[in-house]
Amino acid sequence: MSNGPKMTIIQGVLFEKMKKLSLAFVLLIVALAAQDAVAQSKKEKDRASFISNAKLLEKKPFDPNAATARANGDLSGSSTRMTSL
């Protein structure tokens, strides 16, 4: 029992479209996972920078680099969602 040549052609076209659609979904998932990993590393880097600036200000509040450290700390504190100014 054959479906006929017309049905075979339609099934072949649909199969090719489904392969392309599956590939597109896989690429989308990979891109979103990579974006999440980059955002996480930036967040960790910002946190480490904030902690090192706080330690610098604690040990040497009148250091020449203290003004820059204070400015960086103020910006990161005021730009969070949880802070209301």
Domain parsing of the chain, residue ranges: 5-78
What's the rounded Cα separation, in Å, for the pair 55 and 57? 5
- Report the pLDDT value the prediction gives residue 73, as an integer from 0 to 100: 65
Handedness of CA 33, 34, 39, 41 (dihedral sign): positive
- Report the pLDDT value the prediction gives residue 82, as an integer from 0 to 100: 64
Looking at the chain, how many residues does it have? 85
Which single residue is written with the structure tokens 């509040």? 61
Question: Is the predicted pLDDT of residue 78 greater than 80, yes or no?
Answer: no
Q: Tens digit of pLDDT for each residue in 10-38?
A: 777 778 888 888 888 999 998 888 887 77
Hey, is 4 helix, strand or coil? coil
